[in-house]
């Protein structure tokens, strides 16, 4: 088990944001896609094809050594491509189509591999602002993007804990 993760970017750093953009834009590997029926991915592909919304993902209590909370990751989608990922201030985040909030503990769970769909059901990840019905018309796309985000290695605290040991070995 690795104890230090100097190579992993800190959560809510610009480097991490870019790694997230790349991961969600790329989508799951063929291996991950094979775990679910093709119709599920076809549904997501169809939703994604015309997707132009933006998401602000919020950690209200990011530790001070990482810049302190609230921290906001903005992901902008244009015709199904994630064209921008940036760490932004609260004003810009408030302009996103959907604002999703999770406590720092919930972020840790997500990056430790917790089921993204279940986190939405239990409101560990909570739609804080945005039209609920419209949001759920693309819900499986959002869930799979959150799962992809969760697979991006990141440092979560000052001791340099890696959140995803599987990827640390790669």
Partner 1 sequence: MVTRQETVQERVANSTLAQIRDVDIDDVLDYLHADLKKLPDYLDLYRRYLRQRWDVYELDFDQDAIDWRTRMSAEERAAFVAISSGFHHGERQVEVELPVFMLGGSEESKIYMSSQIEDEARHTIFFDRFYREVVALPGTGIQDVLDASYPHVSETFVGPFGLLAHQADELRRDPEDPAARVRYGTTYFLWIEGVLALSVMKITLSYCRTRKLLPAYYSGFTATCRDEARHVQGGMRILRDAVQSDPAMLHEIHETLRTILRMNGAVSRRLALESLGWTPEEVRRLMIRQLTMKLSDVGIDLPPDLREQIDRLQPELAGG
Q: Are residues 8 and 155 in contact, defined by beta-carbon separation less than 8 angstroms? A: yes
Among 60, 118, 166, 167, binds partner 1 (CB under 8 A): 118
Should residue 135 be labelled a site residue for partner 1 when binding is judged by CB under 8 A?
yes
Residues 6+ apart with CB under 8 A from 140: 40, 43, 44, 47
Q: For residue 85, give the H/E element and its range.
A: strand 81-88
Nearer of residues 12 and 55 to partner 1, judged by Cβ: 55
Nearest to 96 by CA among 81, 86, 108: 86
Residue 40 · residue 112 · CB < 8 Å: no
By the rule CB under 8 A, 98 interacts with partner 1 = no
Span of 61-69, 72-80, 88-96, 126-134 interacting with partner 1 by CB under 8 A: 126-134
Per DSSP bridges, beta strands 98-102 and 54-59 are: parallel
Q: List the one residue out of 153, 152, 149, 156 whose CA is nearest residue 66.
A: 156
Please report which helix (H) or strand (E) contains residue 145, including its range.
Answer: helix 139-150
143 is a site residue for partner 1 (CB under 8 A) = yes
Region of 40-48, 56-64, 75-83, 148-156 interacting with partner 1 (CB under 8 A): 40-48
Choose one: 49-57, 82-90, 111-119, 159-167; the region binding partner 1 (CB under 8 A). 111-119
Instruction: Give whichever of 89 and 136 is closer to partner 1, judged by the CB atom.
Output: 136
Q: CB of residue 139 vs partner 1: minimum separation in angstroms?
A: 6
99 touches partner 1 (CB under 8 A): no
Q: Which span sits near partner 1 by CB under 8 A: 22-30, 62-70, 101-109, 131-139?
A: 131-139
Query: How many C-beta atoms lie closer than 10 Å to residue 73's C-beta?
Result: 23
The least CB distance from residue 101 to partner 1, in Å, is: 11
How many alpha carbons fall within 13 Å on the CB side of residue 32?
10
The residues of the shown chain that bind partner 1, judged by CB under 8 A, are 36-37, 39-40, 43-44, 115, 117-118, 120-123, 126-127, 132-137, 139-140, 143
């Amino acid at each position: 088990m690795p104890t230090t993760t100097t190579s992993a970017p800190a959560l809510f750093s610009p480097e991490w944001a870019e790694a997230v953009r790349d991961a969600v834009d790329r989508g799951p590997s063929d291996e991950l896609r094979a775990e679910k029926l093709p119709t599920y991915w076809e549904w997501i592909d169809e939703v994604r094809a015309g997707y132009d919304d933006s998401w602000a993902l919020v950690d209200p209590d990011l530790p001070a050594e990482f810049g302190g909370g609230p921290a906001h990751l903005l992901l902008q989608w244009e015709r199904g491509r994630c064209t921008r990922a940036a760490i932004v201030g609260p004003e810009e985040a408030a302009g996103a189509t959907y604002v999703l909030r999770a406590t720092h503990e919930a972020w840790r769970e997500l990056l430790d591999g917790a089921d993204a769909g279940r986190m939405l059901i239990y409101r560990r990840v909570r739609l804080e602002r945005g039209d609920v019905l419209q949001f759920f018309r693309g819900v499986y796309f959002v869930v799979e993007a959150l799962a992809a985000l969760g697979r991006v290695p990141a440092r979560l605290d000052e001791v340099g804990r890696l959140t995803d040991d599987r990827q640390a070995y790669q």
